[in-house]
Amino acid sequence: MTNEIGVESLVDGCRVNRRLYVDRELFALEMDRIFGRSWVFLCHDSEVGEPGEFRTIQIGNQPAIVTRDEHGDIQVLMNHCMHRGATVCQQSRGQVKNFRCWYHGWTYNLRGELIGIPYADAYGRAFDRSVKNLFKAARVATYRGMVFASLAAECDELVSYLAGAKRYLDVFMDLSPVGEIIARSGGHKFTYEGNWKFQLENGVDGYHPNFVHRSFWEMQPEGAMDMFSGTSPGLTRALGNGHSILDMSPLVKPRAGNGSAKQDGAPVRSLPSDGLKPKPMGDYFDKLVSAWGYERAVEVLEQSNVNLLIFPNLLIIGVQLRTITPVDVTTTEVYQQPTTLKGVSDEMNIARLRAHEAFYGPAALGAPDDLEMFARCSRGMRVREREWITFDRGLERERVINGERVGHITDEVPQRAFYARWRELMASPAGDAARAPANSHTHASHQTR
């Protein structure tokens, strides 16, 4: 039994036991202790913009539906008919008036209330309809349109849970001059052979791009590979609660002109290589300045040059929301949802989508290479003699600045932070709140900025 050997011993300082990637029993425990009690990212609220619009997602490996009811409220319903347990919604997205189980026709409204049982007179007096509504996630909260749920009633408020990641979510949203993104441009789903944690490790891994993605960098302007070299000024930062960033903002160089000539020398700030994100164009910078003021406009453009990991299942990279769904211990599903910005020109948004496709799309120049690495790691982890994987790169030069651990862009600061959080959650037995209980008398709570 996993418990007998002590789960906490599987993450020992910066060493991680290979069983974290291949052990089925440990995977089941992760579903309870991590996905069963953390805030888990589900989708952006624009994906379910209208009443009856839905997306089917998973909270860990449990199927659920995110929908919007007639009152405009977001509902997170477990996808499980209260009659025989079948999923009541099969499509990945769509719009419905209600959810009807195909097995025996039981029907639920958008709030999950049971509203129809065929030939109901066969159920006797003891039958209590009121306990046959769909289960709901214990807590649902949104932050700037990002919808999260928790299966545990006792957990921190979402905003405190987000810790240092909140600042970067704000930056991502403030790239829009009205502070809102839209996630309705379709998405791209893929499955890889390998544990779910490989994708999270990789999304904030600044050590791999010059090797795995070499062919892409070689097509970029001179100097692009400096971004992830041993002498890059880029950083890694742990943001608390297992969240982290790959911070490319120190690489940003002011550039004059570039369509914002009206600003007369106003810097349009961008990375040495803009291969992954569109450059500000047209009057975009002016719009940001009138919305947020000059200082904040510059800050937003600079600080958006990060890859953000929100524990346990979200990466924000380039223009995309990337959701990681564990299927089984060595099968993972990833959903990439590129976003557009409210309040900017079509030209700017089209450029965002094209930039996304170039590196991250199904036949793109970057992301598919990573999948091959996950599969190779997954196979390699079967070697039993080598029990430990070590995330000790940059350990001695790691610093604590304003309470956050900071390292070089090629260092393993994010991975160490991820596994420290993993250990903290996995080591506390079921029933214990992983964090100090929040005041959670309400069934669901909604928060915005």
User: Where does this chain bind Fe ion (CB under 5 A)?
Assistant: 370
Rounded least distance, CB 360 to Fe ion, Å: 10
Which of residues 272 and 368 has its CB atom nearest to Fe ion in the complex?
368
Neighbours of 119 (CB within 10 A): 8
Which of residues 78 and 365 has its CB atom nearest to Fe ion in the complex?
365
DSSP-derived 3-state class of residue 76: strand
Closest residue to Fe ion, based on beta-carbon distance = 370
CA nearest to 418, candidates 380, 438, 389: 389
Phi/psi zone of residue 325: left (φ > 0), alpha (ψ -120 to 50 degrees), beta?
beta
Which of residues 281 and 373 has its CB atom nearest to Fe ion in the complex?
373
Which of residues 180 and 370 has its CB atom nearest to Fe ion in the complex?
370
Rounded least distance, CB 192 to Fe ion, Å: 12
DSSP-derived 3-state class of residue 74: strand
DSSP-derived 3-state class of residue 143: strand
What are the strands of the beta sheet with 62-68, ordered from one edge?
74-78, 62-68, 53-59, 93-95
Which of residues 180 and 205 has its CB atom nearest to Fe ion in the complex?
205
Which of residues 199 and 260 has its CB atom nearest to Fe ion in the complex?
199
Distance CA 419, CA 414 (A): 9
CA nearest to 33, candidates 443, 444, 423, 441: 423
- Helix ranges (DSSP H) in 264-333: 284-292, 294-303
Rounded least distance, CB 447 to Fe ion, Å: 33
C-alpha 183 chain-centroid distance: 13
Rounded least distance, CB 204 to Fe ion, Å: 10
Rounded least distance, CB 30 to Fe ion, Å: 23
Rounded least distance, CB 72 to Fe ion, Å: 39
The residue ranges of DSSP E strands in 49-116, in sequence order, are 53-59, 62-68, 74-78, 93-95, 99-100, 107-108, 114-116
Which of residues 45 and 370 has its CB atom nearest to Fe ion in the complex?
370
- Angle, CA 277 vertex, CA 225 and CA 412 arms, to 5°: 50
Contact 56, 95 (CB under 8 A): no
What are the CA-CA distances from residue 113 to residues 62, 134, 151 (Å)?
A: 20, 6, 19
Contact 30, 242 (CB under 8 A): no
Which of residues 302 and 370 has its CB atom nearest to Fe ion in the complex?
370
What are the CA-CA distances from residue 165 to residues 41, 182, 199 (Å)?
A: 13, 20, 18
Distance CA 378, CA 374 (A): 6
First-to-last alpha carbon distance for the chain, in angstroms, is 44
Rounded least distance, CB 199 to Fe ion, Å: 10
Amino acid, single-letter form, for residue 167:
R
Which of residues 89 and 276 has its CB atom nearest to Fe ion in the complex?
276
Rounded least distance, CB 307 to Fe ion, Å: 10
Which of residues 90 and 215 has its CB atom nearest to Fe ion in the complex?
215
Which of residues 370 and 411 has its CB atom nearest to Fe ion in the complex?
370
Amino acid, single-letter form, for residue 31:
M
Contact 315, 308 (CB under 8 A): yes
Helix (H) or strand (E) holding 141: strand 139-143
Rounded least distance, CB 208 to Fe ion, Å: 6
Rounded least distance, CB 367 to Fe ion, Å: 7
Rounded least distance, CB 319 to Fe ion, Å: 16
